[in-house]
Amino acid sequence: MWFADIIVDISIDKLDKTFQYILPDELLDVVEIGSQVNIPFGRRRITGYVVNITDEASFDVERMKQVESVVNRSVPIDSRMIKLAYWMKHNYGSTINQALKTVLPIKEEIREKKESILALSEEYSSDILRLDTLLAECERKHYAAKYRLLSALKEDGAIDEGIVKSKLNISSSTIKALIQQGVIEQKNSIVYRNPIHKEYAHSSKCVLNNEQRFVANCIIEDYDRGNRETYLIKGVTGSGKTEVYLDVIEHVLNQGRQVIMLIPEIALTYQTVMRFYKRFGNIVSILNSRMSKGERYDQYLRAKNGEIRVMIGPRSALFAPFDNLGLIVIDEEHESAYKSDGVPKYHARETAIEIARLCDASVILGSATPSVDAYYKARNGEYKLFVLNNRANESKLPKVETVDLRKELKEGNKSIFSRRLAELMNDRLNKKEQIMLFLNRRGYVGFINCRECGYVIKCPHCDVALTAHNNGRLVCHYCGYTEPDKKVCPSCGSKYIGGFKVGTEKIETAVKEIFPDARVLRMDFDTTRGKEGHEKILEEFAGGNADILVGTQMIVKGHDFPKVTLMGILLADLSLYSSDFRAQERTFQLLTQAAGRAGRGDIPGNVVIQSYDPSHYSIQRAVEHDYDGFYEQEIMYRDLMEYPPVSNLMSVKLSSKDERLVNEAAQELRSVAATYIEELGTQNGTVQIIGPTRATVYKVNDIFSVLLYFKQKQYTVLTQIKDTLEKYIREHDNEMRYINIQFDFNQ
């Protein structure tokens, strides 16, 4: 007799166990691990996923119910996905239901409104003669609507269905008839419009230079020998990393295997995607967050069917259900978007490496400014490191200079723009060249600094900036240390001390005041909310419809603007003193990236970095384009403070509407952990416990959040502590049920 362990209805996040059912003989052949099945549950009939099949009953067979049937049309999930879900649950902390929901493509039940485009079918688009014959026939038979649509499609290749109906005045029945005839196809509008089939043929491969060839060959040789490794390619923007990926991808595809290519959403632009289409044609597909769940599900199905063999997308593309995955590439590996903000809080890099292990695939990481974590692992031999030193197109690195804002203030300039920046802006406006002004954080007061001497108020215990809270106190997020807000600078006594409030809007206004004739575009979360808002603004700017683009992070990632010859970074310190141990790293990466935006054409560019502390190593090393110098200093700091990657850090965030309950529970979990840690002894090194401490924003929507932190050299010690806490939480459901608990590893 056979039994199935089943995870019921994964929509219930809190459930964290399997239920056993009898697997009747008639279902033995059709049910496998990963099948979705119908089961009786209490009085209801629900669905669940089979995660294990066994001949050992876990309880009395007399009382056990039977699996009823297999859910029609469901894609049985690969048993590897279930293994992956368990791995995630174990390493990041979540219920198995939450982990499964993350890795499984889930079809939403609600019907979703779909936008679609109409395009000529492959048959007709590749055979113009045939299309012309059909057009002539429509004309002769006075099929006016059909004629109108087909001639429009002949011109444009693909058109929005909405436009077809409203502007071309074509009815649904005409469209349906043409689809049935096989002349046109209906497609989701997700794919960056109209990747014209004919264009594929024109794609010309570029011949890799020696540096690129060497890297690609090493990876391919390993691959052919069956060595699966993780590689880190460090190479400045424009050094030709993407060409190396394309070369290795082609090799892997030729072996009949599939590829996942991760690109941060923000860099997933038309140009990037077209490079892949042109090289590999329509076996390429993309995923992005603007797609509905249904559309995403369709992409997963196509991957499962073998229609798609290269999946490009942000971190969720990792879960494309390929049956023969050979390679995962993660471009811009250092991007914080690769860390999930939902539960489980998985990191795409680590998860990719685990998936690759399960599928016998290789992993390539690439970045101009690798994450300290990845570089640390590469240095320690865990990853193989390659460096591309030269820009493939030989364009020159821009000239980067800093301006000390303390000096500006001292000399009477209170404007947002230093005199040097204003002078260069004037010059570029006169020359009709373009300017970008970059604010490396949204208008937000976090840290408190002195505008006269640059002093930043930091926690005496943690070396991170204190954060101003509404109650007039300054608080450290890492240990809960607090002190009263300051009226004068503790270092120089100046009264010019306080939080910084600058937003892109304020900058736009300031630009207009000083340069009334300049045409300014602004790009931030407010102006890009629309469906393609962000791409539209970039296109407008690239098309020369503005002189100055003001924006946050979005403007410095993945876009080429050859006419930009000046980049102004308005306040480098903004990201430097956020209360986060990765603040220096993020700042260095952002500054380096921003600097890379200027002067990519034939005209060399200028970069001006404004700061209250221009000698800070994050800024100095960025000015000198010195990654290794930055890394050396940063890793010393991490080592000293026992931060990742040298040590590991687990945070436990408890949230509840009940303030008293959440604080008590945090104390309780702390003591549970402390007892466990004492039992463990010190043979694996000590564990530091910090907290409970209030979250940055203690109360949001009447929900209170407190944090506990644990630091330890070994990751597995932290997961053991997590398991202990999870067990305690399960066993004390009465007190814990009103508290939401989230684990986060290495932030």
Q: Which is nearer to ligand ADP, 554 or 706 (CB)?
A: 554
At its nearest, how many Å lie between ligand ADP and the CB of residue 268? Answer: 14
Which range touches ligand ADP (CB under 6 A), out of 208-216, 412-420, 642-650, 714-722?
208-216
Selected from 212, 434, 528, 579, the binder of ligand ADP by CB under 6 A is 212
At its nearest, how many Å lie between ligand ADP and the CB of residue 621? Answer: 20
CA distances from residue 508 to 75, 327, 518, 559, 692 in whole angstroms, order as listed? 51, 44, 11, 21, 42
DSSP string, 102-126: HHS----SS-----EEEEE-HHHHT
Q: Tell me: does residue 241 bind ligand ADP (CB under 6 A).
A: yes
Contact 462, 476 (CB under 8 A): yes
At its nearest, how many Å lie between Zn ion and the CB of residue 569? Answer: 22
Selected from 15, 22, 453, 672, the binder of Zn ion by CB under 5 A is 453
Which range touches ligand ADP (CB under 6 A), out of 55-63, 155-163, 202-210, 585-593?
202-210
Listed in sequence order, the residues at least 6 apart from 495 whose beta carbon sits closer than 8 Å to its beta carbon are 487, 488, 489
Q: Pick from ligand ADP, Zn ion, none: which does 242 bind, CB < 5 to 8 A by kind?
A: ligand ADP
Q: Tell me: does residue 410 bind Zn ion (CB under 5 A).
A: no
Span 498-527, contacts to Zn ion by CB under 5 A: none
Which range touches ligand ADP (CB under 6 A), out of 133-141, 235-243, 254-262, 508-516?
235-243
Which range touches ligand ADP (CB under 6 A), out of 200-208, 256-264, 301-309, 688-696?
200-208
Tokens 């056993």 found at = 20
Q: Tell me: does residue 422 bind Zn ion (CB under 5 A).
A: no
Strands 69-70 and 434-438: unpaired
Tokens 């496998």 found at = 32
Selected from 242, 552, 575, 655, the binder of ligand ADP by CB under 6 A is 242
DSSP state of 74: P
Q: Tell me: does residue 39 bind ligand ADP (CB under 6 A).
A: no
Site string for ligand ADP, 364-393 (x = CB under 6 A): ----------------------------xx
Q: Tell me: does residue 240 bind ligand ADP (CB under 6 A).
A: yes
Q: Tell me: does residue 50 bind Zn ion (CB under 5 A).
A: no
Site string for Zn ion, 298-327 (x = CB under 5 A): ------------------------------
At its nearest, how many Å lie between ligand ADP and the CB of residue 237? Answer: 4
Q: Tell me: does residue 740 bind ligand ADP (CB under 6 A).
A: no
Q: Tell me: does residue 620 bind ligand ADP (CB under 6 A).
A: no
Element (H, E) at 271: helix 270-280
Distance CA 306, CA 399 (A): 48
Other beta carbons less than 10 A from residue 357's beta carbon: 14
Q: Tell me: does residue 492 bind Zn ion (CB under 5 A).
A: yes
At its nearest, how many Å lie between ligand ADP and the CB of residue 562? Answer: 11
Element (H, E) at 185: strand 184-188
Span 496-525, contacts to ligand ADP by CB under 6 A: none
At its nearest, how many Å lie between ligand ADP and the CB of residue 102? Answer: 29
Distance CA 505, CA 523 (A): 9
517 is written with which tokens? 């004739």
Q: Coil, strand, or helix at residue 385?
A: strand
Strands 184-188 and 116-120: antiparallel
Selected from 52, 188, 203, 209, the binder of ligand ADP by CB under 6 A is 209
Rounded to 10 degrees, the C-alpha dihedral 471/477/482/486 comes to: -70
Q: Tell me: does residue 476 bind Zn ion (CB under 5 A).
A: yes
Q: Tell me: does residue 479 bind Zn ion (CB under 5 A).
A: yes
Q: Pick from ligand ADP, Zn ion, none: which does 641 bind, CB < 5 to 8 A by kind?
A: none
Contact 527, 568 (CB under 8 A): no
Please list the alpha-helical segments (H only) found in 167-240: 172-180, 197-202, 210-224
Q: Tell me: does residue 206 bind ligand ADP (CB under 6 A).
A: yes
**Per rule CB under 5 A, count of chain residues that contact Zn ion:** 15
Distance CA 455, CA 110 (A): 55
Handedness of CA 145, 151, 156, 158 (dihedral sign): positive
Selected from 125, 174, 237, 553, the binder of ligand ADP by CB under 6 A is 237
Selected from 208, 303, 497, 564, the binder of ligand ADP by CB under 6 A is 208
Looking at the DSSP assignment, which residues form a beta bridge with residue 465? 458
List, as own/partner pairs, every contact residues 193-197 make where C-beta atoms lie below 8 angstroms and the sequence separation is at least 24, other chains included.
193/117, 193/158, 194/117, 194/119, 194/156, 194/157, 194/158, 195/274, 195/277, 195/282, 196/125, 196/157, 197/122, 197/125, 197/126, 197/281, 197/282
- What is the contact surface with ligand ADP in residues (CB under 6 A)? 206-209, 212, 235, 237-243, 392-393
- What is the contact surface with Zn ion in residues (CB under 5 A)? 450, 452-453, 455, 459, 461-462, 476, 478-479, 481, 489, 491-492, 494
